[in-house]
Amino acid sequence: MTDAAPSVMLAELDRAILAAHADRDGVRLARLYGEAAARLEAGGDIQAACFFRTQAYIFALEQGAPEAAAHAAALKRHGRL
């Protein structure tokens, strides 16, 4: 994987997130922000990962989605909650 690939993936995710915002689709937003958080965390960018995981957490909370608890636990581990 080249240095350009992660930014391309994130750019695609970014477009998908904006589309989900335009559609006011909370289920997609929770999933997509969660994906972005996971990728950034895997890449070692914890601060950005926690930002996106916060977004994922909130949309999951709003939807009553079970992954809200996992997001909360991850944020707590990083001292963000």
Least spacing, CB of residue 1 vs another protein, in Å: 26
Q: Dihedral angle at the C-alpha atoms of 43, 47, 49, 55, nearest 10 degrees?
A: -170
C-beta of 32: minimal distance to another protein in Å? 16
- Tokens for 81? 């909650």
Cα→Cα distances 52→14, 16, 24, 27, Å: 11, 14, 17, 15
Our finding on whether 22 is near another protein (CB under 8 A) is no
**57 touching another protein, by CB under 8 A:** yes
Alpha-carbon distance 46 to 57, whole Å? 15
Is there binding between residue 68 and another protein (CB under 8 A)? yes
**Member of 28, 63, 67, 70 binding another protein (CB under 8 A):** 63
Enumerate binding residues for another protein (CB under 8 A). Answer: 47-48, 50-51, 53-55, 57-65, 68, 75, 80-81
